[in-house]
């Protein structure tokens, strides 16, 4: 077996031509045997797809997700809701006949929001819609009443540093992209405290708003006063900007009861379809089971959890047992900084060599388009061949990133291949971390397709005659 694998790997190495500087592969020439082998999975994949979108599994992912979010609601790290939801998924995975179902303990943060309000007192009275940010400290019980300084950027704040002392700093940064703009949420409080601000209010990180506040993580840098911090809506940030530009003095009364309690024990949930030939080798499918404490965490990340559960339940139902193990992991405390995944990585360090491929869905389970892949060039050629099997659900697109995922980035950022689900997710950040993250953001037909995609890709990779290649096996001209 091993020798066969080495030979195949060497043959594959010759197959990749022209790995150009921008990491786009101009041409894939995989060994014909391997291409044929992948193509031979078409009837199996077709069966998986038919069962999920038009057979006994039709509607199951959505209905099960609906039952779950209706029963537990949101599931913030440290909460009893989260632990109850974890117990439920352990029971559910066992009842679905999955193997080795269990929870794995990890310590997680316990931040609680309490009540919170922000009221503009001058130049007129108006209640502002806000959501305190994760890890924020609270205000004194009587609140913080202070003048406001609105800035559009960190640069503007630094230029106006002399005016910030004793003020509530409001950031009205433009939305560029989530990745770029989220720095204001993550570091806004620290930057404001450095120039003497007493609190910070940050325009929600979103391209679209119906006066919706978006919460999320922030962290205080060392040696900086921890000041209360919250997100306000895009509309209110615009209002405060206009009032300042019109020359008004603005005053806000901010009250927040937020506090951090001691860490508590939570669990990552693990369930498997054990491999028939090499059970120690693992393909992981995953999503995170915790959520923010607003909305119902249906989209972020109930959808990811339920397609990962659904993929295994579906394969089990079809009696499809691959050569390697497929393991679903429902990560805990993702929202507080991949806490569950870091714990898992530590506890499974000695198993890392056996992690063949990791998959995660955490940027929406909308209508699928394909996969976003991180890994070597040869692997990308294989992923493209596998994606062709998804033609019946029109999810054949692939693209590459240096690393993918939130939780799985610990591995995909370190040379272990993996993929994120790629969907028509241009509205993801409309709902993200808001009270609007409810079941209404999800769609039954899309979930069926995503479950089928997840099951198909995991099954083929776990069943191939070769281990999914890790290295890029680049050949130079």
Ligand X SMILES: *[C@@H]1O[C@H](CO)[C@@H](O)[C@H](O)[C@H]1NC(C)=O
Q: Which residues are catalytic?
A: 334
Select from 149, 283, 312, 369 the one that contacts ligand X (CB under 6 A): 369
Can residue 407 be called a binding residue for Zn ion (CB under 5 A)?
no
Binding window for Zn ion (CB under 5 A); candidates: 50-58, 299-307, 365-373, 414-422: 299-307
Instruction: Tell which positions 200-259 bind ligand X, by CB under 6 A.
Output: 222-223
Instruction: Tell which positions 154-183 bind Zn ion, by CB under 5 A.
Output: none
Between CA 470 and CA 422 the distance in angstroms is 21
Q: Which does 43 bind (CB under 5 to 8 A by kind): Zn ion, ligand X, none?
A: ligand X
Burial class (CB in 10 A: 0-12, 13-18, 19+), 167: buried
Contact predicate 283/121, CB 8 Å: no
CB 50, min distance to ligand X, A: 4
Binding window for ligand X (CB under 6 A); candidates: 39-47, 381-389, 405-413, 460-468: 39-47
Select from 272, 290, 362, 422 the one that contacts Zn ion (CB under 5 A): 362
Contact predicate 296/339, CB 8 Å: no
Can residue 319 be called a binding residue for ligand X (CB under 6 A)?
no
E-only strand ranges, 312-423: 324-331, 355-360, 368-374, 397-400, 418-423
Q: Which is nearer to ligand X, 5 or 347 (CB)?
A: 347
SS3 of residue 372 by DSSP: strand
Q: What are the distances in angstroms from CA 312 to CA 54, 219, 389, 458?
A: 18, 36, 19, 9
DSSP secondary structure, 14-63, as one string: HHEEEE-TTS-EEEE---HHHHHHHHTTHHHHHHHHHHHHHSTTTTHHHH
CB 434, min distance to Zn ion, A: 13
**Six token digits for residue 92:** 């559910």
Q: Which is nearer to ligand X, 160 or 397 (CB)?
A: 397
Between CA 275 and CA 278 the distance in angstroms is 6
Q: Which does 362 bind (CB under 5 to 8 A by kind): ligand X, Zn ion, none?
A: Zn ion
Query: CA angle, 289 as apex, 283 and 292 as ends, to 5°?
Result: 140
N residues, the chain: 477
Binding window for ligand X (CB under 6 A); candidates: 47-55, 198-206, 255-263, 317-325: 47-55
Q: Which does 300 bind (CB under 5 to 8 A by kind): Zn ion, ligand X, none?
A: Zn ion
Q: Which is nearer to Zn ion, 19 or 334 (CB)?
A: 334
Chain residues in the site for ligand X (CB under 6 A): 43, 46-47, 50, 54, 222-223, 350-351, 369, 394, 397
Chain residues in the site for Zn ion (CB under 5 A): 300-301, 362
């Amino acid at each position: 077996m091993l020798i066969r694998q080495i030979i195949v790997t060497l043959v594959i190495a010759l197959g990749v031509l022209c790995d150009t500087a921008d990491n786009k592969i101009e041409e894939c020439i995989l060994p014909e045997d391997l291409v044929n082998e992948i193509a031979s999975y078409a009837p199996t994949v077709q069966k998986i797809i038919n069962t999920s979108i038009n057979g006994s599994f039709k509607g199951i992912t959505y209905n099960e997700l609906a039952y779950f979010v209706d029963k537990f609601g949101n599931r913030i790290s440290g909460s009893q809701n989260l632990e109850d939801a974890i117990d439920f998924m352990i029971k559910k995975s066992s009842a679905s006949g999955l193997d080795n179902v269990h929870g794995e303990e990890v310590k997680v943060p316990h931040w609680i929001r309490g009540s919170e309000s922000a009221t503009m007192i001058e130049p007129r009275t108006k209640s502002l819609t806000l959501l305190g940010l994760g890890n924020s400290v609270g205000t004194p019980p009587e609140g913080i009443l202070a003048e406001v300084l609105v800035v559009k950027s960190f640069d503007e704040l630094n230029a106006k540093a002399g005016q910030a002392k004793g003020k509530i700093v409001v950031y009205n940064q433009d939305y560029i992209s989530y990745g770029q703009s989220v720095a204001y949420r993550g570091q806004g409080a620290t930057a404001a405290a450095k120039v003497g601000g007493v609190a910070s209010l940050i325009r929600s990180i979103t391209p679209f708003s119906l006066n919706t506040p978006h919460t999320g993580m922030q962290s205080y840098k060392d040696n900086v006063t921890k000041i209360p911090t919250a997100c306000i809506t895009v509309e209110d940030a615009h209002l405060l900007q206009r009032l300042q530009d019109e020359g008004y003095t603005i005053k806000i009364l901010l009250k927040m009861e937020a506090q951090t309690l001691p860490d508590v024990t939570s669990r990552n949930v693990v369930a498997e379809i054990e491999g028939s030939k090499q059970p120690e080798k693992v393909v992981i499918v995953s999503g995170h089971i915790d959520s923010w404490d607003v909305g119902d965490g249906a989209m972020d990340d109930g959808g990811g959890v339920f397609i990962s559960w659904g993929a295994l339940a579906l394969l089990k139902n079809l009696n499809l047992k691959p050569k390697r193990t497929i393991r679903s992991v429902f990560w805990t405390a993702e929202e507080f900084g991949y806490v569950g995944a870091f714990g898992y990585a530590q506890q499974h360090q000695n198993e890392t060599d056996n992690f063949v491929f990791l998959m995660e869905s955490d940027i929406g389970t909308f209508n699928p388009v394909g996969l976003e892949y991180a890994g070597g060039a040869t692997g990308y050629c294989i992923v493209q061949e596998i994606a062709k099997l998804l033609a019946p659900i029109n999810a054949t697109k692939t693209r590459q990133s240096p690393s993918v995922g939130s939780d799985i980035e610990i591995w995909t950022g370190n040379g272990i291949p993996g993929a994120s689900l790629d969907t028509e997710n241009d509205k993801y950040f409309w709902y993200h971390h808001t009270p609007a993250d409810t079941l209404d953001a999800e769609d039954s037909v899309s979930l069926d397709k995503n479950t089928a995609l997840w099951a198909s890709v995991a099954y083929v990779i776990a069943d191939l005659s070769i281990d999914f290649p890790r290295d890029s096996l680049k050949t130079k001209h």
